[in-house]
Structure 1
Amino acid sequence: MYEPIRTPSVHSARSALAGTASDYPHRSREEELDIQLAGHLAALLTATDELRALAPSADLDTAAERLAAQVSRLRRGRTPVRASTPATAGPDLTALHRRALALAGRALVVAASRADTAAAILAAERMDAHAEATEPRALASR
């Protein structure tokens, strides 16, 4: 009733042409999480540098140094690119703190999933600092 298949599948032909699966590099789950965490922390570092340019403080300076050290560790010694000049548009401080809060939250989730205690503690501390900065009473006292 049905004609038997005489040619190999397109999918099996492609895999035969490409060679075995070990011909191209694969990253482990841990390596992927390292890359993702480094990206979130680098974005948080950029937001921190922008905040430092608009409203300098010792807390932000310390946070930026700690963030840069974590990004460098996750990128195997490569130092992160830092923002040298502030944005010319002059973003709202509250919006910038909210963005940093969201970035710290993302970093915390990834750090927790890869069991990176140092990065998780740093992300949680930054979340607390940015959450406090976005509270209405904190902004009124500035």
Structure 2
Amino acid sequence: MYEPIRTKSVHSTPVRASDVPHRTREEELDIQLAGHLSALLAVTDELRACGSSADLDSAADKLARQVTRLRAGRAPMRVHADGTGHSPTSLHRRAHALAGRALLVAASRADTASAILAAQRMDAHTAALSGAAH
């Protein structure tokens, strides 16, 4: 009725440590931090498309430099949108959340430059959100 299994089970095959790729904790945190900062950069670029300011331009440059540093010289891919249809308020909320995540990972990694940048971006988005509420 059923055909017998003809191959060995993956569960019975011994796994050698050299067969599994390993990264250090620091490498994993760098990857996470670069991802959070890249996402924050994308939202910053969306905000710049809604209405550019010197603060957003400077933040985008700083974020791009940090991501490039964390990715060993590989610059982040940037898409310049013509306006996404998202409201600036929702973009500031998203950017604030992403900056918070980046701050947590940067603090865990003891990456002072990224932590300071993430904290500054959180403050800027908090100010923008409180200004939009009035």
TM-score (norm 2): 0.88
Alpha carbon RMSD of aligned pairs, Å? 1.5
Unaligned runs of 5+ in 1: 1-9
**2:73: which partner in 1?**
77
Identical aligned pairs, as a percentage?
67
Residue 98, structure 1, aligned to residue 97, structure 2: no
Partner of 1:3: none
Larger radius of gyration: 1
CA deviation after TM superposition for structure 1 residue 51, in Å: 0.2
The Cα offsets for residues 87-110 of structure 1, whole Å up to 9 and x where unpaired, read as: 44x111111000000000000000
Mark the CA change 1:58 to 1:21 in structure 2 (over 3 Å): closer, same or farther. Answer: same
Return the offset for 1:140: 6.4
SS at match of 1:14: coil
Residue among 116, 119, 123 paired with 1:124? 119
Match of 2:132 in 1: 139
Distance in 1 (alpha carbons) for counterparts of 2:47 and 2:60 = 10
Q: Report the TM-score when normalising by structure 1.
A: 0.83
How many residues align structurally? 125
- Deviations along 1:33-84, whole A, 9 cap, x unmatched? 0000000000000000000010110000000000000000000000001122
Rounded Cα–Cα distance in structure 2 between residues aligned with 1:66 and 1:102: 18
